Structure 1
Amino acid sequence: MSFLLSPRRGRSPLRAGVPALIAATLTLLAVTGCAGPAAAPGTAAEVKRECVASETPLTELAILDDPRAWVGPSTACLADADITAIDSPDEPQLPVTVVDDKGTEVTVTDASRILAVDVSGSLAATVFGLGLGDRVIGRDSSTGFAAAAGLPLVTTGGHQLSAEPILELAPTVILTDTTLGPPAVIAQLRDAGIPIVITTSKRNIDTIGTVIEQVAAALGVADAGTRLTEKVHAELAAVQADIESIAPADTADRPRMLFLYLRGSAGVYYLFGEESGADALITSIGGRDVAGEIGWQGMRPVTAEALVEAAPDLVLVMSKGLESVNGVDGLLDSIPALASTPAGQNRRFVDMSDSEILSFGPRTPQVLDALARAVYAPEQSGPIGE
């Protein structure tokens, strides 16, 4: 049986520069929960927060009259951080021959020991979503959901593959993309006789179905891939409709948002703009992508000029990133220009687990729901004490 994994040959538009930056800056840390500060309404007093999601439907929450005026940070929490597989998963029908995203023809004869790794954790989440999680034998540092957290880690330094630990796991098929390296390790593993399928490296809401279908084709469960894609798309449509119903009707009244990638210990402060995935995330939760409005492309070191021009009302960050700069106070000290923006003045930062916020996969509908709650109903995100 033969599947065409991707009709494209050569480089996709995003690969012209952004993916290399993804590999260098999107080193998502694997965590099983999130924790972050919050505030009482109208004040800057912060309390420690446990990541506990409300079971109340999004549209039934007490929504802020003006989400731009809230003072204080909040944390986005998934109701269930694990992956829910499709009903009645299929048994892989093998062998299959696919042409992967690099134009390489690959034949997969055995899917009993799967290694699915990329910088965002999307591939492993997809395999679990297809109901094949019991066949996964290792993980990358971005795969932090409970069902996979105990698997052996095969990436070092966040996004570097090492051949020795992978060979020890004896995978029968490897699914990856161009965000992990070095290429010499991929070549070494391929020389060892392991089928390696390279999927698209583009990660945004519009490519979730593409990734699912590529993974499913390579594992001999194409029909299951179609069912999972339909499930995720239906969930996305439902949650985006809910968000649209609670977000301000007038675009001018919607919160102006930015996504900052932070690694204080390394002195890394990046602003994510168009074609980074963060832009789609922001618009999907009813925000205005002000990085796009000022013409910010891809992922680049943040500048004071960009922050002042963008004037965000709210800034999205990863939980571990915020911790790495010692919280909101440390962030405002590290980037003084941020303190002069509406977000800085109101301490309006929304953090979410590093392994969830930009993962773009089967959990994306739940990620959008969680972020919307933190933006539009921050009081209901679960304070646990001083």
Structure 2
Amino acid sequence: MSRLPAAGPDPAASRTPSRSASHPTAQHHTPRPHPRRRALGVGVLLTVTALVAGCGMQLPLAGHAEDDGAVVGTQPLAELEPIADPRAWTGEITVGTPDRPVEPVATDPSPALPATVTDAQGTEVTVTDTSRILALDLYGSLSRIVFELGLGDSVVGRDISSGFPEIADRPVVTSNGHELTGEAILDLAPTVILTDTTLGPWDVVLQMRDAGIPVVVLDSHRSLDTSADLAEATGAALGLPAEGKALAERTEAAVDDTLAQVEALAPADAAVRPRVIFLYVRGQSGVYYLFGDESGADSLIEGLGGIDAAAEVGWKGMRPLNDEGLVSMQPDLVLLMTGGLESVGGVDGLLEQVPALAQTPAGENRRFVAMDDTEILSFGPKSADVLDALARAFYAPESLS
């Protein structure tokens, strides 16, 4: 299992990416109409401003700013007036989601135990006790799901990515960012562990099983399509199948509603929709990756009504960025994580480290949209909030001013 740096997932481990190889020239096409019909994954992550169109003037961000500098929109998405051309605004935006409290689908639920499930790796696991739960993954999605199922009081620890207020007082059992720490886990005496393959070392997971702790490995492939499935699988593992189904239905309904609102904001003319890429950067590690088809980023970009410029040219998964390929894609907008942007010294540092960006519309106009590492690809109970926040930046950036 690759070890991951403290600032976030590093799908490249310690390799320095090459940016010399060529890539096919991009061809424009109409975006695929409904991303939720395609189950795309980020399982490989284990290895894982604004202008009214054409005015030419940059507006400063104001509005509801979070402590981390992210701007959170407050006007309902359906009430926003989109700009005429989402490729016309200039300047970078760091956007966040509302700090929405946990809303359990059940109050004081009673798990039906023992619960026997076959996990994502084909292992049959029987859970007999849910009094001390650990739910650990790269983005904090699993712990949030457990809280939303109504078992938050039974959660005894957390991963570093679980930062919502209700779990903040639990001890962290990951070190160096996203490394599972066997001693810290055993000290908490969990009666069940829920995890996936986005955290390591894997030997720690095996150690927990050897210690007699039921470990349920859930599917690490994430997309807008899999958010509901993850809720159901978590509920089943904890003896709460009905609650899992209820949470899945609530999550799916929220995502569907938000997708419809985003589609109403996005230009009807596909030729005006922004060409978008997702960059994963870690300056301290010399990592510059472009996320393409089946990375999870494609599901997000398509859900936002954008044209995934990387998937369009057949860019698969997560691969080192190269200058020629980047220039050929000609993105209008770049999505990235706030931790990655900070690691290279902001937009100026990114343009210095990846000069080819300056030869794209996104780089020329400093059109970068960043969101917190723990949210942007989480694909869980907050999927609808992520879509909502990013859609504001894409199509109604002045609503964030």
TM-score calculated relative to the size of structure 1: 0.87
Paired position in structure 2 for 1:78 = 97
Runs of 4+ in 1 over 4 A off after TM superposition: 44-49
Please point out which of 329, 335, 350 is paired with 1:316.
335
Paired position in structure 2 for 1:53 = 72
Q: Measure, in 2, the Cα distance between the counterparts of 1:372 and 1:197.
A: 35
**Shift of residue 321, structure 1, vs aligned partner:** 1.1
**Shift of residue 84, structure 1, vs aligned partner:** 3.1
Please point out which of 70, 94, 105 is paired with 2:113.
94
Superposed CA deviations along residues 24-70 of structure 1, whole A, max 9, x for unmatched, are 3x4xxxxxxxxxxx456634576686434232111212321111111
8 Å Cα contact 2:341-2:350 kept in structure 1: yes
Partner SS, residue 208 of structure 2:
helix
Paired position in structure 2 for 1:297 = 316
Q: Does 2:41 correspond to 1:22?
A: no
Partner SS, residue 269 of structure 1:
strand
Paired position in structure 2 for 1:150 = 169
CA distance 1:100–1:187, shift in 2 (3 Å): same
8 Å Cα contact 1:328-1:347 kept in structure 2: yes
Paired position in structure 1 for 2:271 = 252
Q: Please show how residues 362-377 of structure 1 align to structure 2 within 5 Å.
A: 362-377=381-396
Please point out which of 195, 205, 218 is paired with 2:224.
205
Q: Measure, in 1, the Cα distance between the counterparts of 2:325 and 2:127.
A: 47
Paired position in structure 1 for 2:214 = 195
Superposed CA deviations along residues 321-374 of structure 1, whole A, max 9, x for unmatched, are 111111111111110001110000010000111111111101101110011011
Superposed CA deviations along residues 77-128 of structure 1, whole A, max 9, x for unmatched, are 2123544322546321111111111111111111111101112222112112
Q: Does 2:323 correspond to 1:271?
A: no
Please point out which of 255, 258, 281 is paired with 2:300.
281
Gaps of 5+ in 2: 1-38
**Shift of residue 155, structure 1, vs aligned partner:** 1.4
Equivalent pairs, count: 355
Identity of aligned pairs, percent? 55
Q: Measure, in 1, the Cα distance between the counterparts of 2:90 and 2:194.
A: 43
Q: Does 2:139 correspond to 1:116?
A: no
Most deviating of 92-101 and 50-59: 50-59
8 Å Cα contact 1:126-1:362 kept in structure 2: yes
**Shift of residue 14, structure 1, vs aligned partner:** 7.7
Partner SS, residue 147 of structure 2:
helix
Partner SS, residue 116 of structure 2:
strand
**Shift of residue 176, structure 1, vs aligned partner:** 0.6
Partner SS, residue 205 of structure 1:
coil
CA distance 1:47–1:370, shift in 2 (3 Å): closer
Partner SS, residue 107 of structure 1:
strand
**Shift of residue 318, structure 1, vs aligned partner:** 0.7
Partner SS, residue 226 of structure 2:
helix
Partner SS, residue 268 of structure 2:
coil
Partner SS, residue 193 of structure 1:
coil
Q: Measure, in 2, the Cα distance between the counterparts of 1:47 and 1:268.
A: 29
- Counterpart residue type for residue 128 of structure 1: F
The root-mean-square deviation of aligned C-alpha atoms, in Å, is 1.9
8 Å Cα contact 1:264-1:321 kept in structure 2: yes
Paired position in structure 1 for 2:24 = none
Paired position in structure 2 for 1:181 = 200
Q: Measure, in 1, the Cα distance between the counterparts of 2:131 and 2:72.
A: 35
Paired position in structure 2 for 1:3 = none
- Counterpart residue type for residue 66 of structure 1: D
Q: Measure, in 2, the Cα distance between the counterparts of 1:327 and 1:245.
A: 32
CA distance 1:254–1:361, shift in 2 (3 Å): same
- Counterpart residue type for residue 213 of structure 1: E
**Shift of residue 202, structure 1, vs aligned partner:** 0.6
8 Å Cα contact 2:310-2:329 kept in structure 1: yes
Please point out which of 352, 374, 380 is paired with 1:355.
374
Q: Does 2:256 correspond to 1:237?
A: yes
CA distance 1:68–1:89, shift in 2 (3 Å): farther
Paired position in structure 2 for 1:5 = none
Partner SS, residue 80 of structure 1:
coil
- Counterpart residue type for residue 230 of structure 1: E
Paired position in structure 2 for 1:63 = 82
8 Å Cα contact 2:50-2:89 kept in structure 1: no
- Counterpart residue type for residue 233 of structure 1: E
- Counterpart residue type for residue 23 of structure 1: L
- Counterpart residue type for residue 45 of structure 2: I
Paired position in structure 1 for 2:14 = none
CA distance 1:87–1:359, shift in 2 (3 Å): same
Q: Measure, in 2, the Cα distance between the counterparts of 1:349 and 1:361.
A: 24
Q: Measure, in 2, the Cα distance between the counterparts of 1:97 and 1:146.
A: 31
Q: Measure, in 1, the Cα distance between the counterparts of 2:310 and 2:122.
A: 34
- Counterpart residue type for residue 244 of structure 1: E
8 Å Cα contact 1:54-1:380 kept in structure 2: yes
Q: Does 2:145 correspond to 1:126?
A: yes
Q: Does 2:398 correspond to 1:379?
A: yes
